[in-house]
Amino acid sequence: MAEFLNTDKLREQLIKIIETAQDEVVLISPYIQTNTLLLEELEKADNRGVVITIVYKEGKLSDFERKKLIKFKNLNLLSHPNLHSKCYFNEIYLIITSLNLYDYSQRNNREMGVLFRRTDEERNGLSDYKTGQDDDSFFQDAILEMKSIINGSDVEKEGQKTKEKGFEIQIAKTNYDLILEKCNLYNKYSKNKKFVPFQSGEDWYPKCENFLDKVDLVIEGRRSLIYLNFDEKRCEEIFNVLNTKRNKGDFEVVYCFRMYWTYHKSAIYLYPLNHHELWNIDKSDEFYSKFFLGLNEVFKKLKPSIEKSKK
């Protein structure tokens, strides 16, 4: 649930965003004037290996402040010509505020802001609706704007990790971006079967249209769905052959999957066969090669009935 922050709470939560950053933290502020506490927290984050990205308004950072910031080995420093937004975020928290990263403002001005959470938070081991996860659609819109600001900025300093791995900020990726990466990964192993991002409601999934002719595959995490795009009569004919309701547990084992098809109008569902060795393998070349081997075995089972149902 969104939480209103006054000046005192803003100071507290700004430090918390740096303290709780696991791998990345982004600080977007037109004007920057650091104090001792902020520098100490940035140093701790830097020593933990956190990639720190700071965006300020072009021409508005003093040499004195720049020298203090560029000493951090994992800090990226960027400038934007038209920046007026102020926001601060890590993997868990996002603050949108009137407050600059400016010591004078924090001590003397009346500021306000709003804190949003990307995950549920517990206090003293108890969940509280006030600290619950905020709507993901809000974060998707916010990330798009933050990405646009970062993309429109000039890089003045790259941190060590950025130089080694490239300028990739995971927390500034939308769900679409993450699924596109997953599609690109699958496409390395799926040969001519190409996956593209597919939106269902507010969620995105990798989808391969025509894995077989007029048969689509959607991968939803550990569950996969097969959609037969035929008329109802043909689907029912195929279902009468492949119906899994007759089996114990309503599923049939196909390689590394439990295949469920219990109603001719529904999709065919694939779930992991838990004791199969594949699901104990780390996500590696071996895993994805065997995963797609398993999918191909499923489609081999479907294909004869699909072909036989042609008129």
Residue 46 near residue 52, CB atoms below 8 Å: yes
Residue 158 φ then ψ, to 5°: -105, 135
Measure the CA–CA gap between 270 and 41, rounded to whole angstroms.
47
Q: Is the pLDDT of residue 272 over 90?
A: yes
Ranges of each domain in the chain: 3-172, 184-308
Q: Is the pLDDT of residue 150 over 60?
A: yes
Q: Is the pLDDT of residue 100 over 50?
A: yes
Q: Is the pLDDT of residue 130 over 70?
A: no
Q: Is the pLDDT of residue 58 over 50?
A: yes
Please give the order of strands across the beta sheet that includes 268-272.
196-200, 203-212, 215-220, 223-228, 268-272, 257-260, 252-254
Residue 46: count of CB within 10 angstroms of its CB? 19
Q: What is the pLDDT of residues 189-242, one digit of tens each?
A: 999 999 999 999 989 999 999 999 999 999 999 999 999 999 999 999 999 999
Which residue(s) pair with 207 in the sheet?
196, 218
Q: Is the pLDDT of residue 124 over 70?
A: no
Numbers of helices and strands, H then E, in the chain = 9, 19
Q: Take residue 131 and report the two structure tokens written for it.
A: 């600290």
% of the chain residues with pLDDT over 90: 87
pLDDT grade, residue 122 (50/70/90)?
low
Q: Kindly indicate whether the domain formed by 3-172 is annotated with CATH number 3.30.870.10.
A: yes
Q: Is the pLDDT of residue 127 over 60?
A: no
Torsion over CA: 273, 278, 279, 280 (sign):
positive
Residue 129 has a pLDDT of: 54
Residue 9 has a pLDDT of: 96
Segment 38-44 mean pLDDT: 97
Residue 101 near residue 122, CB atoms below 8 Å: no
pLDDT grade, residue 110 (50/70/90)?
very high
Residue 1 has a pLDDT of: 83
Query: Which of the residue ranges 3-12, 22-31, 112-121, 212-221 would you say has the lowest mean pLDDT?
Result: 112-121
Q: Is the pLDDT of residue 260 over 80?
A: yes
% of the chain residues with pLDDT over 70: 96
Segment 122-145 mean pLDDT: 76
Residue 221 has a pLDDT of: 94
Residue 107 has a pLDDT of: 87
Q: What is the pLDDT of residues 167-184, one digit of tens each?
A: 999 999 999 999 999 999
Which residue(s) pair with 33 in the sheet?
102
Element (H, E) at 27: strand 24-28
Q: Is the pLDDT of residue 88 over 70?
A: yes
pLDDT grade, residue 126 (50/70/90)?
very low
Q: What is the mean pLDDT of the chain?
A: 94
